[in-house]
Structure 1
Amino acid sequence: MLLSLLLGTAITSLCLVLQSLALVAALRYFIRRANHLHATFLHAEKVIIGLLVILIFGSLGQIGIWALLFFILGEFDNLKTAFYHSAVNFATLGYGDVVMSQQHRLLGPLEAINGALMIGVSTAALARAFTTAIREQVNPKSKHDPNRWK
Protein backbone atom coordinates (compact mmCIF):
# COMPACT_ATOMS: atom_id res chain seq x y z
CA MET A 1 0.00 0.00 0.00
CA LEU A 2 2.83 2.40 0.82
CA LEU A 3 4.48 1.59 -2.51
CA SER A 4 1.22 2.41 -4.31
CA LEU A 5 0.94 5.72 -2.47
CA LEU A 6 4.52 6.63 -3.35
CA LEU A 7 4.11 5.59 -6.99
CA GLY A 8 0.76 7.38 -7.25
CA THR A 9 2.21 10.56 -5.78
CA ALA A 10 5.21 10.44 -8.10
CA ILE A 11 3.04 9.85 -11.19
CA THR A 12 0.61 12.58 -10.13
CA SER A 13 3.56 14.96 -9.81
CA LEU A 14 4.78 13.99 -13.27
CA CYS A 15 1.27 14.51 -14.63
CA LEU A 16 1.15 17.95 -13.02
CA VAL A 17 4.30 18.87 -14.94
CA LEU A 18 2.75 17.57 -18.18
CA GLN A 19 -0.52 19.42 -17.45
CA SER A 20 1.44 22.62 -16.84
CA LEU A 21 3.28 22.22 -20.15
CA ALA A 22 0.01 21.55 -21.99
CA LEU A 23 -1.62 24.54 -20.32
CA VAL A 24 1.28 26.85 -21.23
CA ALA A 25 1.16 25.58 -24.84
CA ALA A 26 -2.61 26.05 -24.98
CA LEU A 27 -2.48 29.56 -23.57
CA ARG A 28 0.38 30.56 -25.87
CA TYR A 29 -1.69 29.27 -28.78
CA PHE A 30 -4.68 31.25 -27.55
CA ILE A 31 -2.74 34.48 -27.03
CA ARG A 32 -1.06 34.23 -30.47
CA ARG A 33 -4.47 33.91 -32.09
CA ALA A 34 -6.33 36.30 -29.80
CA ASN A 35 -6.62 38.91 -32.54
CA HIS A 36 -9.02 36.52 -34.32
CA LEU A 37 -11.48 36.69 -31.43
CA HIS A 38 -12.93 40.00 -32.59
CA ALA A 39 -13.59 38.65 -36.09
CA THR A 40 -16.57 36.36 -36.58
CA PHE A 41 -17.92 34.01 -33.96
CA LEU A 42 -16.75 31.09 -36.13
CA HIS A 43 -13.16 32.39 -36.08
CA ALA A 44 -13.32 32.73 -32.30
CA GLU A 45 -14.66 29.18 -32.00
CA LYS A 46 -11.83 27.83 -34.16
CA VAL A 47 -9.37 29.35 -31.71
CA ILE A 48 -11.23 27.81 -28.75
CA ILE A 49 -11.33 24.40 -30.48
CA GLY A 50 -7.57 24.57 -31.05
CA LEU A 51 -7.08 25.27 -27.36
CA LEU A 52 -9.38 22.36 -26.50
CA VAL A 53 -7.42 19.96 -28.72
CA ILE A 54 -4.15 20.89 -27.02
CA LEU A 55 -5.70 20.31 -23.59
CA ILE A 56 -7.18 16.96 -24.69
CA PHE A 57 -3.76 15.78 -25.88
CA GLY A 58 -2.35 16.83 -22.49
CA SER A 59 -4.94 14.63 -20.78
CA LEU A 60 -4.25 11.74 -23.15
CA GLY A 61 -0.55 12.05 -22.34
CA GLN A 62 -1.32 11.77 -18.65
CA ILE A 63 -3.55 8.77 -19.26
CA GLY A 64 -0.66 7.23 -21.18
CA ILE A 65 1.75 7.80 -18.29
CA TRP A 66 -0.59 6.01 -15.88
CA ALA A 67 -1.18 3.22 -18.42
CA LEU A 68 2.56 2.72 -18.78
CA LEU A 69 2.88 2.42 -15.01
CA PHE A 70 0.10 -0.19 -14.91
CA PHE A 71 1.75 -2.12 -17.73
CA ILE A 72 5.21 -1.99 -16.11
CA LEU A 73 3.72 -3.22 -12.82
CA GLY A 74 2.31 -6.21 -14.72
CA GLU A 75 -1.31 -5.30 -14.11
CA PHE A 76 -2.22 -5.77 -17.77
CA ASP A 77 -0.88 -7.92 -20.59
CA ASN A 78 -1.00 -5.14 -23.18
CA LEU A 79 -0.86 -1.37 -23.36
CA LYS A 80 -4.26 -1.17 -25.04
CA THR A 81 -6.04 -2.58 -21.99
CA ALA A 82 -3.85 -0.55 -19.64
CA PHE A 83 -4.69 2.63 -21.56
CA TYR A 84 -8.42 1.85 -21.52
CA HIS A 85 -8.35 1.18 -17.78
CA SER A 86 -6.32 4.33 -17.22
CA ALA A 87 -8.78 6.44 -19.25
CA VAL A 88 -11.70 5.10 -17.21
CA ASN A 89 -9.86 5.97 -14.00
CA PHE A 90 -8.67 9.39 -15.19
CA ALA A 91 -12.17 10.38 -16.28
CA THR A 92 -13.54 9.06 -12.96
CA LEU A 93 -16.02 6.82 -14.79
CA GLY A 94 -15.22 3.74 -12.73
CA TYR A 95 -16.83 1.15 -15.01
CA GLY A 96 -15.21 -1.72 -13.15
CA ASP A 97 -15.13 -3.98 -16.20
CA VAL A 98 -11.32 -4.09 -16.01
CA VAL A 99 -9.77 -4.13 -12.56
CA MET A 100 -6.30 -4.24 -11.10
CA SER A 101 -4.93 -6.66 -8.57
CA GLN A 102 -5.46 -6.08 -4.88
CA GLN A 103 -1.76 -5.21 -4.56
CA HIS A 104 -2.07 -2.09 -6.78
CA ARG A 105 -5.77 -1.28 -6.64
CA LEU A 106 -5.14 1.95 -4.70
CA LEU A 107 -3.56 3.38 -7.85
CA GLY A 108 -7.01 3.55 -9.50
CA PRO A 109 -8.48 6.06 -7.04
CA LEU A 110 -5.21 8.01 -7.02
CA GLU A 111 -5.43 8.35 -10.80
CA ALA A 112 -9.07 9.39 -10.49
CA ILE A 113 -8.08 12.17 -8.07
CA ASN A 114 -5.32 13.18 -10.48
CA GLY A 115 -7.75 13.20 -13.40
CA ALA A 116 -10.40 15.21 -11.57
CA LEU A 117 -7.84 17.83 -10.59
CA MET A 118 -6.22 18.09 -14.03
CA ILE A 119 -9.53 18.12 -15.90
CA GLY A 120 -10.57 20.92 -13.54
CA VAL A 121 -7.46 22.88 -14.50
CA SER A 122 -8.22 22.37 -18.19
CA THR A 123 -11.84 23.38 -17.66
CA ALA A 124 -10.77 26.59 -15.93
CA ALA A 125 -8.45 27.52 -18.82
CA LEU A 126 -11.10 26.68 -21.39
CA ALA A 127 -13.77 28.64 -19.52
CA ARG A 128 -11.49 31.68 -19.33
CA ALA A 129 -10.75 31.53 -23.06
CA PHE A 130 -14.41 30.99 -23.90
CA THR A 131 -15.47 33.93 -21.72
CA THR A 132 -12.86 36.15 -23.36
CA ALA A 133 -14.05 35.12 -26.83
CA ILE A 134 -17.71 35.74 -25.98
CA ARG A 135 -16.90 39.09 -24.38
CA GLU A 136 -15.00 40.10 -27.51
CA GLN A 137 -17.96 39.13 -29.68
CA VAL A 138 -20.42 41.08 -27.54
CA ASN A 139 -18.27 44.16 -26.87
CA PRO A 140 -15.16 44.35 -29.07
CA LYS A 141 -12.38 46.53 -27.67
CA SER A 142 -10.00 48.69 -29.61
CA LYS A 143 -7.08 46.82 -31.15
CA HIS A 144 -4.80 49.39 -29.56
CA ASP A 145 -5.99 48.87 -25.99
CA PRO A 146 -2.94 47.59 -24.01
CA ASN A 147 -5.24 45.87 -21.49
CA ARG A 148 -7.19 44.04 -24.18
CA TRP A 149 -6.35 40.48 -23.05
CA LYS A 150 -5.94 41.04 -19.31
Structure 2
Amino acid sequence: MLNVLLIGMPIVWGNLLLQTHINVWSIRYYLRKSGQSTRDAQGAWPLFGVITILMFGTMLQIALWGALFWWLDEFPTLETAIYHSGVNFSTLGYGDLVMSAKWRLLGPLEAINGALMISLSGATILALLQQQLRDKFRGTAN
Protein backbone atom coordinates (compact mmCIF):
# COMPACT_ATOMS: atom_id res chain seq x y z
CA MET A 1 0.00 0.00 0.00
CA LEU A 2 2.90 2.38 0.70
CA ASN A 3 4.09 1.88 -2.90
CA VAL A 4 0.66 2.91 -4.18
CA LEU A 5 0.75 6.10 -2.14
CA LEU A 6 4.34 6.86 -3.13
CA ILE A 7 3.42 6.48 -6.80
CA GLY A 8 -0.07 8.05 -6.66
CA MET A 9 0.40 11.04 -4.37
CA PRO A 10 2.80 12.90 -6.68
CA ILE A 11 0.11 12.67 -9.39
CA VAL A 12 -2.50 13.97 -6.94
CA TRP A 13 -0.22 16.86 -5.94
CA GLY A 14 0.63 17.53 -9.56
CA ASN A 15 -3.09 17.66 -10.38
CA LEU A 16 -3.75 19.96 -7.43
CA LEU A 17 -1.03 22.29 -8.66
CA LEU A 18 -2.27 22.06 -12.24
CA GLN A 19 -5.90 22.69 -11.22
CA THR A 20 -4.88 25.65 -9.07
CA HIS A 21 -3.07 27.24 -12.00
CA ILE A 22 -5.89 26.41 -14.42
CA ASN A 23 -8.42 28.05 -12.10
CA VAL A 24 -6.27 31.15 -11.70
CA TRP A 25 -5.66 31.35 -15.47
CA SER A 26 -9.40 30.92 -16.06
CA ILE A 27 -10.28 33.74 -13.68
CA ARG A 28 -7.62 36.01 -15.18
CA TYR A 29 -8.90 35.21 -18.69
CA TYR A 30 -12.45 35.98 -17.62
CA LEU A 31 -11.52 39.28 -15.98
CA ARG A 32 -9.50 40.31 -19.04
CA LYS A 33 -12.27 39.44 -21.52
CA SER A 34 -15.36 40.64 -19.69
CA GLY A 35 -15.57 44.39 -19.46
CA GLN A 36 -18.55 46.31 -18.15
CA SER A 37 -21.34 46.35 -20.72
CA THR A 38 -25.10 46.65 -20.79
CA ARG A 39 -25.57 43.84 -23.31
CA ASP A 40 -27.17 40.77 -21.73
CA ALA A 41 -24.94 38.19 -23.45
CA GLN A 42 -21.78 40.21 -22.80
CA GLY A 43 -20.33 37.67 -20.36
CA ALA A 44 -21.18 34.55 -22.37
CA TRP A 45 -17.99 34.33 -24.43
CA PRO A 46 -15.58 34.90 -21.55
CA LEU A 47 -17.47 32.29 -19.54
CA PHE A 48 -17.31 29.89 -22.50
CA GLY A 49 -13.56 30.48 -22.58
CA VAL A 50 -13.27 29.69 -18.89
CA ILE A 51 -15.26 26.48 -19.26
CA THR A 52 -13.09 25.48 -22.22
CA ILE A 53 -9.89 26.12 -20.24
CA LEU A 54 -11.22 24.14 -17.27
CA MET A 55 -12.31 21.26 -19.51
CA PHE A 56 -8.88 21.16 -21.16
CA GLY A 57 -7.28 21.11 -17.70
CA THR A 58 -9.49 18.20 -16.63
CA MET A 59 -8.59 16.26 -19.77
CA LEU A 60 -4.92 16.94 -19.11
CA GLN A 61 -5.23 15.58 -15.58
CA ILE A 62 -6.98 12.45 -16.87
CA ALA A 63 -4.17 11.99 -19.39
CA LEU A 64 -1.62 12.35 -16.59
CA TRP A 65 -3.21 9.55 -14.60
CA GLY A 66 -3.57 7.47 -17.76
CA ALA A 67 0.11 7.92 -18.54
CA LEU A 68 0.94 6.70 -15.04
CA PHE A 69 -1.24 3.60 -15.49
CA TRP A 70 0.39 2.88 -18.85
CA TRP A 71 3.87 3.46 -17.42
CA LEU A 72 3.05 0.98 -14.64
CA ASP A 73 2.12 -1.48 -17.42
CA GLU A 74 -1.45 -1.82 -16.17
CA PHE A 75 -2.94 -1.53 -19.66
CA PRO A 76 -1.65 -2.59 -23.08
CA THR A 77 -2.21 0.78 -24.78
CA LEU A 78 -2.11 4.41 -23.72
CA GLU A 79 -5.62 4.85 -25.10
CA THR A 80 -6.97 2.11 -22.83
CA ALA A 81 -5.13 3.58 -19.85
CA ILE A 82 -6.58 7.05 -20.53
CA TYR A 83 -10.07 5.59 -20.94
CA HIS A 84 -9.75 3.82 -17.59
CA SER A 85 -8.42 7.03 -16.08
CA GLY A 86 -11.39 9.02 -17.38
CA VAL A 87 -13.79 6.52 -15.83
CA ASN A 88 -11.93 6.78 -12.50
CA PHE A 89 -11.41 10.56 -12.53
CA SER A 90 -15.07 11.24 -13.26
CA THR A 91 -16.06 8.72 -10.53
CA LEU A 92 -18.21 6.92 -13.11
CA GLY A 93 -16.64 3.56 -12.28
CA TYR A 94 -17.87 1.28 -15.10
CA GLY A 95 -15.73 -1.56 -13.83
CA ASP A 96 -15.16 -2.93 -17.34
CA LEU A 97 -11.38 -2.52 -16.88
CA VAL A 98 -9.79 -3.48 -13.60
CA MET A 99 -6.27 -2.80 -12.40
CA SER A 100 -4.04 -5.45 -10.89
CA ALA A 101 -4.13 -6.04 -7.14
CA LYS A 102 -0.72 -4.38 -6.85
CA TRP A 103 -1.98 -0.98 -8.09
CA ARG A 104 -5.76 -1.11 -7.66
CA LEU A 105 -5.75 1.41 -4.79
CA LEU A 106 -4.69 4.02 -7.34
CA GLY A 107 -8.27 3.84 -8.71
CA PRO A 108 -9.98 5.24 -5.61
CA LEU A 109 -7.13 7.70 -5.14
CA GLU A 110 -7.72 9.02 -8.65
CA ALA A 111 -11.49 9.12 -8.07
CA ILE A 112 -11.03 11.24 -4.94
CA ASN A 113 -8.61 13.47 -6.84
CA GLY A 114 -11.07 13.80 -9.73
CA ALA A 115 -14.05 14.57 -7.52
CA LEU A 116 -12.10 17.36 -5.82
CA MET A 117 -10.76 18.81 -9.07
CA ILE A 118 -14.10 18.70 -10.90
CA SER A 119 -15.76 20.31 -7.88
CA LEU A 120 -13.17 23.06 -7.87
CA SER A 121 -13.84 23.72 -11.57
CA GLY A 122 -17.56 23.93 -10.82
CA ALA A 123 -16.89 26.33 -7.96
CA THR A 124 -14.81 28.53 -10.27
CA ILE A 125 -17.60 28.66 -12.85
CA LEU A 126 -20.16 29.44 -10.14
CA ALA A 127 -17.99 32.23 -8.71
CA LEU A 128 -17.70 33.83 -12.14
CA LEU A 129 -21.44 33.55 -12.74
CA GLN A 130 -22.06 35.21 -9.38
CA GLN A 131 -19.64 37.97 -10.35
CA GLN A 132 -21.54 38.47 -13.60
CA LEU A 133 -24.82 38.81 -11.73
CA ARG A 134 -23.31 41.25 -9.21
CA ASP A 135 -21.88 43.36 -12.05
CA LYS A 136 -25.19 43.30 -13.92
CA PHE A 137 -27.26 44.36 -10.90
CA ARG A 138 -24.70 47.01 -9.98
CA GLY A 139 -24.86 48.36 -13.54
CA THR A 140 -28.68 48.54 -13.57
CA ALA A 141 -28.87 50.14 -10.14
CA ASN A 142 -26.95 53.22 -11.27
- Which category describes the TM-score, using the shorter chain as reference length? over 0.9
Partner residue, 1:147:
none
Q: Could you list the runs of 4 or more consecutive aligned residues of structure 1 that deviate by over 3 angstroms after TM superposition?
A: none
1:73 and 2:72 matched: yes
The residue that corresponds to 2:17 in the other structure is 17
The answer on 1:42 being equivalent to 2:15 is no
Q: Go from structure 1 to structure 2 and tell me whether the alpha carbon gap of 1:41 and 1:97 turns closer, same or farther (over 3 Å shift).
A: farther
Structure 1 CA distance, aligned partners of 2:9 and 2:134? 39
- Aligned equivalents of 2:84, 2:118: Cα separation in 1: 17
TM-score (norm 1): 0.88
Provide the C-alpha distance between the structure 2 equivalents of 1:25 and 1:97, rounded to a whole number of angstroms: 36
Q: Is the 8 A contact 1:92 1:112 kept in 2?
A: yes
Percent identity reads 44
* Separation in structure 2 between the aligned mates of residue 39 and residue 96 of structure 1, nearest angstrom: 50
How many residue pairs align between the two structures? Answer: 141
Residue in 2 that maps onto 1:54? 53
Distance 2:38 2:5 in 1: 49
Q: Greater helix percent: which structure?
A: 2
Question: Matches of 1:41 and 1:89 in 2, distance apart?
Answer: 38
> d(CA) in 1 for partners of 2:59 and 2:139?
35
Query: What corresponds to 1:117 in structure 2?
Result: 116
RMSD: 1.6
Q: C-alpha displacement at 1:41, in angstroms?
A: 2.7
The answer to whether the Cα contact below 8 Å between 2:67 and 2:81 also exists between their aligned partners in 1 is yes
For residues 42-76 of structure 1, the C-alpha deviation after alignment (integer angstroms, 9 at most, x for no partner) is: 23111111100001111111101100000000001
- Pair 1:82 & 2:77 matched: no
Mark the runs of 5 or more structure 2 residues left unpaired by the alignment.
none
Unpaired runs of 5+ residues, structure 1, are: 143-150
Q: In 2, are the aligned partners of 1:90 and 1:115 still within 8 Å (CA)?
A: yes
Amino acid at match of 2:43: A
SS in 2 for 1:84: helix
Specify whether residues 9 and 141 from structure 1 end up closer, same or farther in structure 2 by C-alpha distance, changes over 3 A only. Answer: farther
Amino acid across the alignment from 2:29 = Y
Shift in alpha-carbon separation, 1:39–1:7, aligned structure 2, 3 A? farther
Q: Whole-Å Cα distance in 2 between the matches of residues 59 and 17 of structure 1?
A: 12
